[in-house]
Amino acid sequence: MSEAATLRAVPVAELSVEDARIEHASLASEIAEHDVRYHDEDAPTITDAEYDALRRRAVEIEAQHPVLAAESTLAGKVGAKPSSKFKKIVHAVPMLSLDNAFTEVDVEEFVARVRRFLDLRADAPIAFTAEPKIDGLSLSIRYEGRKLVHAATRGDGAEGENVTANALTIQDIPDDLPRDAPDVVEIRGEVYLSKQAFASINERQAAAGRPLFANPRNAAAGSLRQLDPKITAARPLKFFAYSWGETSAPIAGTQHEALARLDDWGFYVNPLTKVCASVAEMIEAYRRVGEMRADLEYDIDGVVYKVDDLSLQRRLGFVSRSPRWATAHKFPAERATTVLEDIEIQVGRTGSLTPVAKLRPVTVGGVVVSSSTLHNEAYIAGLDNEGLPIREGKDLRVGDHVTIQRAGDVIPQIVDVDIARREAGSSPYAFPETCPVCGSHAVREVNPKSGKEDAVRRCTGGLICQAQAVERIKHFASRAAMDIEGLGDERIEDFHRDGLIRTPSDVFTLRRRQESGEIDLTAREGMGRTSVANLFAAIDDRRTVPLEKLIHGLGIRHVGETNAKLLARHFRSLPAIREAALAPGGTEAIVAAITGIGPIVSAAVVEFFLEEHNLQEVDRLLAEIETTAPAAPTESPVTGKTVVFTGSLEKMSRDEAKAMAERLGAKTSGSVSRKTDLVVAGPGAGDKLTKANALGIRVIDEAGWFELVGAA
């Protein structure tokens, strides 16, 4: 488990800025781990509902603390990097994910957002389709000249794995399309296994003494991603078509008409899909499918709503990692009772001591749950961070019978304790005040702004704490940072324990030390000449990396992937960042120079470079690594400019106009200042127009905007 979230028992509205930052970083790390487990390893430890809830919590924190949105490592991320086992295919149209709704109120808000964006009256008719959300593996199948040319998994949304040979074994996928199909078309849908087929596969796994699949989704993903197509062919995979990517000609005018056409072409589309004219009809469709869920031959985890009119879908477009015109209404949480067998303390790379519940394994909805974060010592005691009771004030003790929940705000979460079954003489859990790894004192620091004690207890060992050093190197080598193949967590732990790597730069000296005879990796258990040569090749492959990857890998506090990109785009080299950080007034200068970088992030960058040992490590890394600066953004007349829209717009809504500007590389703002470059003013423009004129800022109308950007 990654460095766990520490404050998730606290309502988002009650989080301080610093507490929000701590939890937001924890969520980003945890989500990244689950992305790899789900998309790359086909072995998720949580369900889609649990994963979605982690993202929802992160989004709620960003909404409450907007500065974190600019620093977020989550925006725009879909899936995980494609496996190196398969060749890659770049998707002509990205395969994005969906936002989620968990309540009827969420569905109502989704429809309201669509109406606001399109500037539709509350009584203006708009239809949605409602279709079951299949719990399988997303697949995109490309046809050219009506012949199947390749099939690819979602991957990271931009590129996926080439599984064409395996897809050709699935009977539900036609090799050819009829003559009325477009010359080029990508059909997208979900590969899945029926419940009966899943049971049969697990029976064969058990008979052969092989591990069982946790659920049909894992089995389907593992089957499709076999290197030997014969194995895939032996498993009865199925395919539901529900969407499309690139097409050389329009398919239809509406979503439901397009599905009917896919059906005509020989694909299976879900017969339970329904067109709805109101929120009430959408909720009714959701309830109807939910009642049928147990009797369906395939697993589903909710219902997907899509705007039916495809022209409206195009207007709505996309935001971050998902379309504005669709959402997934997820089914509610599932619960189970088990035993809390132990409480372990894990030390993260920032020194945080995080308690983890070790549970007697229990299957909930097809997934085995054996651990759960316990957040912090107050949570174990049955209190929130304000000292108020949670779980009716019941504390958690080893040996307790507990109820766990697999979806919701905290996942997996212990939601109740059966005090009646508590063993006589059991003692409250005593949270350690020393680090279990290095023995250093562990303290709860006092927030200088609020005067409150932090919820997290941290090891003061810093440079001597092996757990922190190991976690920093793991982060450096991880997929999100330097992405060094073959240097996984276990190998890093082994190498660090034996003194082979103590700092990130040591990774790049392994080959020289091996060739000089200083070390001999081939003598290590499980590492022959071939594996050592492969490791060296993987390390050498990362001697030239994008600058943002190296910045992220340094592990600067508060600098995730997004902030690393912002720094890389502005400064273009690591020495330039160092120079700016060490210059007088560096914190303020960085904030002033980069939109999206606030004072806390800037101060963290400055503090990092003020540490002499960090400067030395950066020099060692730069002696081994070359970096490439980010490509310049696509130019448009408004690239890099700050634009303000005010007054009424006639051709599109305000939200639609802002989205258009951002796609063209502009920044949008809700207020006029001296940093504003352009104001687009429609009828009824008021104070913003007055201020723009007073400041001498260029003002144009809506027609002028379309002419400026070449969309008139």
Residues designated as active site: 133
Phi, psi of 340 (to 5 degrees): -80, 100
The answer for residues whose C-beta is within 8 angstroms of residue 103's C-beta and 6 or more apart is none
Positions of E strands within 1-108: 88-90, 99-101
498: burial class by Cβ within 10 Å (0-12, 13-18, 19+)?
exposed
Whether residue 223 contacts residue 235, with contact meaning beta carbons closer than 8 Å, is answered with: yes
Q: What totals of helices (H) and strands (E) does the chain contain, helices first?
A: 25, 26
Quick check: bond before 125 cis, omega within 30?
A: no
For the record, the structure tokens of 228 come out as 């030997």
CA gap 569, 547 in Å, rounded: 9
H-helix or E-strand spanning residue 547: helix 547-553
Cβ neighbours, 10 Å, residue 678: 21
What is the amino acid identity at position 653?
S
C-alpha R_g of the chain: 27
Locate tokens 């009865």: which residue? Answer: 236
DSSP string, 321-390: TEETTEEEEE----EEEEEEEEEEEEE-TT-EEEEEEEEEEEEETTEEEEEEE--SHHHHTTB-TTS-BS
Cβ burial 682-697 (10 Å sphere, 16+ → b, else e): beebeebbebbeeeeb
H-helix or E-strand spanning residue 142: strand 137-144
Residue among 358, 395, 353 nearest 376 (CA):
353
What is the amino acid identity at position 549?
K
Q: Tell me if residue 413 falls in helix, strand or coil.
A: strand
H-helix or E-strand spanning residue 641: none
The residues with which 139 forms a beta bridge, in sequence order, are 153, 189
| Pairing outcome for strands 626-628 and 544-546 | parallel
Cβ neighbours, 10 Å, residue 207: 8
Distances from the Cα of 387 to the Cαs of 354, 378, 433, 448, in angstroms? 19, 8, 19, 19
